[in-house]
Structure 1
Amino acid sequence: MTILESNTPEHSLLGKPAPYATQYDPSLLYPLPRAGKRAEIGIAGEPPFFGADLWTAFELSWLNTRGKPQVALAHITVPCETPNIVESKSFKLYLNSFNDSRFDSADEVRARIRADISEAVWRGAAQASTVGVRLVLPEEFERERVAGLEGLSLDRLDIDCDRYTPAPEYLSAAVDEAPVTETLVSHLLKSNCLVTGQPDWGSVQVRYSGAQIDQAGLLRYLISFRNHNEFHEQCVERIFMDIWSRCRPVKLAVFARYTRRGGLDINPFRTSHPQALPGNARTARQ
């Protein structure tokens, strides 16, 4: 067993006391392989989707060379083809290790984050690439947008709900009728942390072309994640695969924006066809 294969959520610092590092320490990052959870949803080789995990770090600070604190927001884009994700508590501890460390410039901080996250998410891969990192400095804060997810709200439907673990059998599509193209949105997505069981709140957008998906069934399905324990990235991939296999759309994209925890939000996007990533504008709840 390789060192990375021994990395499991249970062995991470999730749910455990952890001291804050006083100096910059990239070794705090804890990568977790994507393969195991993907195998659970029927992905053995290359996944049938493209996309990325869009992270926002709201609690980034460091010292300049004179010891004066600096602050920024960070937008980090992790391609979904990376073999690993980074466990979020380790990401938080890593970012906090910048707090009392001195750097020459914001560009140096950005370069360190890019190199460290890239190494963690590509660790073990035959070929590696880099993640995207953009720092937003205080003079640019007012440009950060708050925007709702575009689409027809599923939450308008008056339905009965009694299943709170994933129920893909709720999904169906009108295969005998004319195909449609539509965008559907719900703010009722909730799942739980895989290790601690703490609640994760999110909004989800489903864009598709193909046989019209039964909206009430889709809403019941999304609500059925309410007591399900998985990380954000894994939930979105499960949603994508269930809709893809049961409703058989010609095109499909699933985007979820989860509320922040520990100064971090994670917003996974998965699409069946190459396209530009959605804008990383936070929702009102984030």
Structure 2
Amino acid sequence: MSQRPDTLEHAPLGRESAYPEHYDAGLLYPIPRAANRAPLGIEEGKLPFVGEDEWHAFEVSWLNARGKPLVAVARFRLPADSPRLIESKSWKLYLNGFNQTRFDSRERVIETLERDLAQAAGATVSVELFDVDDAALAVCRLPGECLDELDIEIDDYSPSAEHLKVGEEIVEETLYSHLLKSNCPVTGQPDWGSVLIRYRGSRLDRESLLRYLIGYRQHQDFHEHCVEHIFTDLMAKAKPERLLVLARYVRRGGLDISPWRATPGERPPEPLRLARQ
């Protein structure tokens, strides 16, 4: 992998790029997580959560040993404790490099992906390849109760924990909203998504929670950091015994991302892929 500053200033995102036709691991562009975590009071090595960034790539193709094209859908799982995330456009450019590259087997494709992504992220990355009609890719619905029909008035579109209100009753519930929207920190393009919150602790006021989530509507940040922002705000404000925050973002450029962060012992529901993905 080429040596270069891992900052957004030099990232391919928002720049005109030539799409490669041959494999090049150097196209992957890692970005340290620490800079975005510091404002949330999160120290590397002392993460207040466990979690993963789950990616699906729907434009994966390569040539077999005889030159015949093969296609698949890829699922990648990048651990939240990896020191680096991988910038999405560089990931897409990297995958495009497989299009005219020959591999002896499907296993060799997986081995190559796992090796290159692990080097970029600084941690083990799991890779699965699915046939395009595999039942594992079936569309599901989020579990729990939807907040979106609440009739609320909103005039603040910035993510402020001051919007959150907490009651005294201890509950265990799963809530979700399809009204999550944030913006790319480089291009300003909208990132649409759904967010699920599962917790045990003092009851969250639902109107205040929906108002808080809608507050990300004009916020510019990566998907992963938005989820970490929500997690840390909920932990600070409500202090739940258990908490899971999961976002399922809409596919863009053939890639979707679904980060989740949770207290130790919590896991997201699986399998789970929404119609907008």
TM-score for both structures, normalised by structure 1: 0.93
Match of 1:58 in 2: 58
Query: Equivalent residue for 2:106?
Result: 106
Moved beyond 3 Å, runs of 4+ = 275-278
Residue 32 of structure 1 aligns to which amino acid in structure 2?
I
Pairing 1:281–2:262 present? no
CA RMSD, Structure 1 to Structure 2 (Å): 1.4
What are the residue-to-residue correspondences of 1:96-245 with 2, within 5 Å?
A: 96-122=96-122, 129-138=123-132, 140-174=133-167, 177-245=168-236
How far off is 1:66 after superposition?
1.0
Partner of 1:125: none
| Aligned-residue offset at 1:281 | 2.5
Report what 1:37 is aligned to: 36
Q: Deviations over 1:94-129 (max 9, x none)?
A: 00000000001111111111111011000xxxxxx4
**Aligned-partner Cα distance in 2 for 1:281–1:74:** 15
Cα shift readout 1:37-71 (whole Å, capped 9, x = no counterpart): 00011112411100100000000000111111000
Bigger mean CA deviation after superposition, 74-83 or 148-157: 148-157
Q: Return the letter of the residue paired with 1:152.
A: E
Question: Alpha-carbon deviation of 1:21?
Answer: 1.3
CA distance in 1, matches of 2:3, 2:224: 19
Identity of matched residues, % = 51
Q: Compute the displacement of 1:5 (Å).
A: 8.6
Shift in CA distance, 5/208, structure 1 to aligned 2, threshold 3 Å? farther
Unmatched 5+ stretches in structure 2: none
1:4 CA drift (Å): 7.6
**CA pair 4-233 structure 1, distance change in 2 beyond 3 A:** farther
Matches of 1:52 and 1:110 in 2, distance apart? 19
How far off is 1:172 after superposition?
1.9
Partner of 2:27: 28
1:79 aligns with 79
Separation of aligned partners in 2, 1:39 and 1:263: 31
Count of aligned residue pairs for this structure pair: 275
Equivalent residue of 1:61, what SS? Answer: strand
For 2:68, the equivalent position in structure 1 comes to: 68
Distance (whole Å) between structure 1 residues aligned to residue 4 and residue 81 of structure 2: 17
What secondary structure sits across from 1:279 in the alignment? Answer: coil
Q: Secondary structure at the match of 1:156?
A: coil
Q: In 2, are the aligned partners of 1:4 and 1:31 still within 8 Å (CA)?
A: no
The answer on 1:91 being equivalent to 2:96 is no
Deviations 1:143-201 (A, max 9, x none): 42101111111112100011111121001211xx3310000000000000010000000
**Using the alignment, how far apart are the partners of 1:143 and 1:236 within structure 2?**
25
Match of 1:126 in 2: none
State the distance in 1 between where 2:222 and 2:154 align. Answer: 23
Q: What is the TM-score when the length of structure 2 is the normalising length?
A: 0.96
Cα distance in 2 between the residues matched to 1:164 and 1:82: 31
The structure-2 alpha-carbon separation of the partners of 1:197 and 1:271, relative to structure 1 and needing over 3 Å to count, comes to: same
Give the conservation status (yes or no) of the 8 Å contact 2:199–2:241.
Answer: yes
**CA offsets 1:7-47 (integer angstroms, 9 cap, x no match):** 11222011110001121011000000000100011112411
The whole-number CA distance in structure 2 between the counterparts of 1:141 and 1:52 is: 23
Matched to 1:38, the amino acid is: R
Listed as ranges, the matches of 1:237-256 within 5 Å are 237-256=228-247
